[in-house]
Structure 1
């Protein structure tokens, strides 16, 4: 299988580019690739670029781009997840798997029961870390467009954002599940997922006041990372490209 590498700048055929420091280190020191080896590059535009390594050094790797092809592996269903921030590596796991399942964007949410408290600088580092997880997931799963990991928002700010997407909120006492939805708008779905411990009654009421429809994922209580991925899978199976 050809190694896939994200490049943060626009790519063009018949050019040579120097890989980013992190990509170069991975190619040279981890994968131990050599001059002449083939790689596939992508820049988030939707195109995949075939290239050949022409320089492989410990701190410098250069690739010659030969051809480009558009490979659309994006789901027709756009899902923007508002995910209550969870502790440890649960958020990393959720982002990684949501990207594999075709999520369009993720906004980390600060809620009443969110157990993660950081200063602004630490949050910025977290977002960069989460965006890199999304990039790595794209490299693995074949996506050529990288979902955006937005800056964290308070739940109230998320709810107040204007959107013409179908607004959904997981709730264990909802009247119906995703199979009860008959259609979704072309703009897609805006999916609210609570953190560990869930949303408070006040937050659930606020979501309802902002036109978020409560849906049920089944008779069992799911962890926050399980809930997000289960709901995304169900939506993609019913309205997207999972079969």
Structure 2
């Protein structure tokens, strides 16, 4: 039997049982069709993985007996992708793929040319939806820490309050390619990705005045999701190369 991996917010302890109900029960019973004695891994965003097996099944709950736990050290980085909210499935895809790749935090923003109006978005509903996507992606990708998905803010609020050590705004007109600045990358880094209609000249100027440096991913005009995923992929490759030296 294959190992099932599942996120839970229930209290977890070795040599004891945890009862999974509601959404977790539905997922185990209807989607995975988990059977008694099937091995299972639970994680709770604490860095620990808990390993056990299905001890019992009722029509409302799964009893999981936990036999051991393993701690996973969190990497020393704080890399954030801030992207202009776009129509689904674009935003969902960004959250899904950035989670799989290992981004630390995701900041949705509303800029001048964003398709959505911040006042018309149910921010709490969106946030809950994206968190569920990140949970599913973390389960699949064997990630032990969930990304911090922040509430939607305006472009101006984000640029004004961004506190990362290094701040980059993607700009196709920039003379610097993102991969070319890897020698100067900080562990605390924010990359700002514009909407399909691009940032306005005023927004680029405001970012520059707020200590954002510009970088490009090339001459081609990319979709929001392509730019966000590509930018973080570059950073991940660079960081992995540095760690292996």
Whether TM exceeds 0.5 here: the answer is yes
Asked if structure 1 preserves the Cα contact closer than 8 Å seen for 2:21 and 2:60, the reply is no
Residues 23-102 of structure 1 mapped to structure 2, 5 A cutoff = 23-72=24-73, 75-102=75-102
Asked if structure 1 preserves the Cα contact closer than 8 Å seen for 2:177 and 2:218, the reply is yes
Aligned residues: 241
Gaps of 5+ in 1: none
Asked if structure 2 preserves the Cα contact closer than 8 Å seen for 1:98 and 1:232, the reply is yes
Q: Displacement, 1:121?
A: 7.6
User: How many angstroms apart in 1 are the aligned matches of 2:57 and 2:20?
Assistant: 10
What is the Cα-based RMSD across aligned positions, in Å? 1.9
Gaps of 5+ in 2: none
Residues 114-125 of structure 1 mapped to structure 2, 5 A cutoff = 114-117=114-117, 122-125=122-125
Residues 215-226 of structure 1 mapped to structure 2, 5 A cutoff = 215-226=215-226
Q: Displacement, 1:81?
A: 1.1
User: How many angstroms apart in 1 are the aligned matches of 2:154 and 2:169?
Assistant: 16
Asked if structure 1 preserves the Cα contact closer than 8 Å seen for 2:11 and 2:18, the reply is no
Deviates more, 1:49-58 or 1:151-160: 49-58
Q: Displacement, 1:75?
A: 4.9
Match of 1:104 in 2: 104
Asked if structure 2 preserves the Cα contact closer than 8 Å seen for 1:48 and 1:69, the reply is yes
User: How many angstroms apart in 1 are the aligned matches of 2:176 and 2:132?
Assistant: 36
Deviates more, 1:15-24 or 1:93-102: 15-24
Q: Displacement, 1:117?
A: 3.0
Q: Deviations over 1:12-63 (max 9, x none)?
A: 2112112241111010111111111111000001111101112223431121
> What TM-score does the superposition give when structure 2 sets the normalisation length?
0.92
User: How many angstroms apart in 1 are the aligned matches of 2:118 and 2:213?
Assistant: 31
User: How many angstroms apart in 1 are the aligned matches of 2:34 and 2:124?
Assistant: 33
User: How many angstroms apart in 2 are the aligned matches of 1:15 and 1:132?
Assistant: 27
Asked if structure 2 preserves the Cα contact closer than 8 Å seen for 1:107 and 1:149, the reply is yes
Asked if structure 1 preserves the Cα contact closer than 8 Å seen for 2:3 and 2:38, the reply is no
CA 1:199–1:53 in structure 2 vs 1: closer, same or farther (change >3 Å)? same
